[in-house]
Amino acid sequence: MRIDPSDFTRLGTNPGEKNVGRGSSTDFVDTLKEALAATNEKLKESDRAAVDLVQGKSANIHETMITMQKADITLRLLISATNKLVDGYKQLMQLR
Protein backbone atom coordinates (compact mmCIF):
# COMPACT_ATOMS: atom_id res chain seq x y z
CA MET A 1 0.00 0.00 0.00
CA ARG A 2 1.25 3.47 -0.86
CA ILE A 3 0.69 6.26 1.66
CA ASP A 4 1.01 9.79 0.32
CA PRO A 5 2.54 12.47 2.54
CA SER A 6 -0.68 14.42 2.35
CA ASP A 7 -4.06 13.18 1.16
CA PHE A 8 -5.67 16.55 1.71
CA THR A 9 -6.28 19.02 -1.05
CA ARG A 10 -4.08 22.07 -0.87
CA LEU A 11 -5.78 24.85 1.09
CA GLY A 12 -3.16 27.59 0.61
CA THR A 13 -2.28 29.88 -2.24
CA ASN A 14 0.99 30.25 -4.08
CA PRO A 15 2.96 33.22 -2.77
CA GLY A 16 3.85 34.25 -6.32
CA GLU A 17 0.25 34.51 -7.47
CA LYS A 18 -1.55 37.80 -7.06
CA ASN A 19 -5.34 37.53 -6.85
CA VAL A 20 -7.15 40.79 -7.35
CA GLY A 21 -10.84 41.59 -7.02
CA ARG A 22 -13.45 38.89 -7.48
CA GLY A 23 -10.92 36.21 -8.38
CA SER A 24 -9.72 35.77 -4.80
CA SER A 25 -13.22 35.13 -3.41
CA THR A 26 -14.01 32.72 -6.22
CA ASP A 27 -10.78 30.85 -5.59
CA PHE A 28 -11.63 30.52 -1.90
CA VAL A 29 -15.10 29.19 -2.67
CA ASP A 30 -13.64 26.77 -5.22
CA THR A 31 -11.11 25.59 -2.65
CA LEU A 32 -13.88 24.92 -0.14
CA LYS A 33 -15.88 23.03 -2.75
CA GLU A 34 -12.85 20.91 -3.60
CA ALA A 35 -12.27 20.15 0.09
CA LEU A 36 -15.91 19.11 0.49
CA ALA A 37 -15.76 16.93 -2.61
CA ALA A 38 -12.52 15.27 -1.49
CA THR A 39 -13.96 14.61 1.97
CA ASN A 40 -17.13 13.18 0.49
CA GLU A 41 -15.13 10.90 -1.80
CA LYS A 42 -13.01 9.63 1.12
CA LEU A 43 -16.18 8.87 3.12
CA LYS A 44 -17.73 7.00 0.19
CA GLU A 45 -14.51 5.03 -0.29
CA SER A 46 -14.52 4.17 3.40
CA ASP A 47 -18.12 2.98 3.22
CA ARG A 48 -17.37 0.83 0.16
CA ALA A 49 -14.36 -0.72 1.89
CA ALA A 50 -16.41 -1.52 5.01
CA VAL A 51 -19.23 -3.08 2.99
CA ASP A 52 -16.74 -5.13 0.96
CA LEU A 53 -15.15 -6.40 4.18
CA VAL A 54 -18.50 -7.36 5.69
CA GLN A 55 -19.67 -9.08 2.51
CA GLY A 56 -16.44 -11.05 2.25
CA LYS A 57 -15.28 -9.44 -0.99
CA SER A 58 -12.16 -8.20 0.77
CA ALA A 59 -10.29 -10.10 3.45
CA ASN A 60 -7.81 -7.33 4.22
CA ILE A 61 -8.99 -5.69 7.43
CA HIS A 62 -5.85 -3.56 7.64
CA GLU A 63 -6.53 -1.75 4.37
CA THR A 64 -10.15 -1.23 5.42
CA MET A 65 -9.16 0.25 8.77
CA ILE A 66 -6.58 2.54 7.15
CA THR A 67 -9.19 3.76 4.65
CA MET A 68 -11.66 4.39 7.45
CA GLN A 69 -9.10 6.29 9.51
CA LYS A 70 -8.13 8.47 6.54
CA ALA A 71 -11.79 9.34 6.02
CA ASP A 72 -12.21 10.11 9.73
CA ILE A 73 -9.17 12.39 9.81
CA THR A 74 -10.29 14.20 6.66
CA LEU A 75 -13.77 14.73 8.09
CA ARG A 76 -12.38 16.01 11.41
CA LEU A 77 -10.14 18.46 9.53
CA LEU A 78 -13.10 19.74 7.52
CA ILE A 79 -15.25 20.15 10.63
CA SER A 80 -12.44 21.97 12.42
CA ALA A 81 -11.92 24.33 9.49
CA THR A 82 -15.67 24.99 9.29
CA ASN A 83 -15.82 25.76 13.01
CA LYS A 84 -12.91 28.20 12.67
CA LEU A 85 -14.63 29.94 9.77
CA VAL A 86 -17.85 30.29 11.75
CA ASP A 87 -15.93 31.64 14.78
CA GLY A 88 -14.18 34.17 12.57
CA TYR A 89 -17.49 35.28 11.09
CA LYS A 90 -18.98 35.71 14.58
CA GLN A 91 -15.99 37.81 15.63
CA LEU A 92 -16.41 40.02 12.57
CA MET A 93 -20.08 40.49 13.36
CA GLN A 94 -19.19 41.57 16.93
CA LEU A 95 -16.93 44.29 15.57
CA ARG A 96 -19.87 46.03 13.95
Q: Count CA atoms within 13 Å of residue 31 on its CB side.
A: 15
Q: How many CB atoms lie within 10 A of CB 45?
A: 14
pTM > 0.95: yes or no: no
- What letters, b where the CB count within 10 A reaches 16 and e where it falls short, cover 7-24? eeeeeeeeeeeeeeeeee
**Cα(6)–Cα(10) distance, integer angstroms:** 9
Q: Give 40-89 pLDDT, tens digit per residue.
A: 999 999 999 999 999 999 888 999 999 999 999 999 999 999 999 999 99
CA 30 vs. chain centroid, Å, equals 13
Q: Give 15-30 pLDDT, tens digit per residue.
A: 555 555 555 556 888 9
